[in-house]
A = this chain, B = another copy of it.
Amino acid sequence: MEDADGMPPNARGNALQMAQREATRDRLVEGAVRVFTRKGYAACVVADVLKEAHVSRASFYAHFASMQALVAEIADRFAPVWQPHYRELANLPGKTLEQLTGWCARMVRFYRENEAVCVILAQASLLDQEIYGKTSGYQDVLADMIADSEPGLAHLRYDPDARLRIGLVLSQLDRACYYLGVRNWEGDPQVGIATMAAQLHHFLHGELRRGGAAAG
């Protein structure tokens, strides 16, 4: 027997429970972002998150094994927000200086608009080996996107030296976005954006030359 919405009554009860469960999880994640932003990630303990989210300790641990697990979830939820920006970089047809300047400007604005989460993830990945591992894993995804975007960059996927080079450059891109978007927003970001774009252009075209030379 099915209900009006096409689900058996038990499933509807379960669906309600699941929705409540999800709502609690969301409250924990959103509360954590607020309290980390206010007090700093390093200064927060589980009790701060409970108080901010109005959730019991038992509920917290039903969702997350630890604070790290909660921060890992913040990182995971944020990934689909920033990954399209890197996909856009990968897909820029000629990777011209003009295109890269536009892209860098968007990235700096993106860090600025998502300052709270950017600061939390920067702090957590510096303090926490587990979160660092997660953000490094994301960096690998970005490196692959760029490697796969054109044949002249394919070596960025399989050549270990090229892999280290792009790892370094992506890490520096993150630093530049953070520096311009979060730390020094008062200054004219356009000047810094031009420097970022020039570096990225220099790097990508150097790699395109290497990749072309290897293929030829």
Residues of A within 8 A of B (CB): 40, 42-43, 122-123, 126-127, 132, 160-161, 164-165, 167-169, 171-172, 175-176, 179-180, 183-184, 187-188, 191-192, 195-196, 198-199, 202-203, 206
Contacts and interface: CB of A to CB of B under 8 A. Distances in A.
Contacts of A171: 175-176, 179
Given A126-B123, A127-B123, A172-B172, A198 B202 contact: yes
Contacts of A198: 202, 206
A196 to B, nearest CB: 7
How often does this chain occur in the complex, in copies? 2
A197 B156 CA distance: 19
A15 to B, nearest CB: 41
Contacts of A122: 126
A126 to B, nearest CB: 6
Contacts of A196: 168
Given A40-B127, A199-B199, A199-B202, A161 B175 contact: no
A112 to B, nearest CB: 15
A160 B186 CA distance: 12
A164 B187 contact: yes
7 contacts: A42-B127, A126-B126, A164-B187, A165-B192, A172-B176, A175-B175, A195-B203
Nearest to A132: B183
A171 B173 CA distance: 11
B176 A164 contact: no
Contacts of A42: 42-43, 127
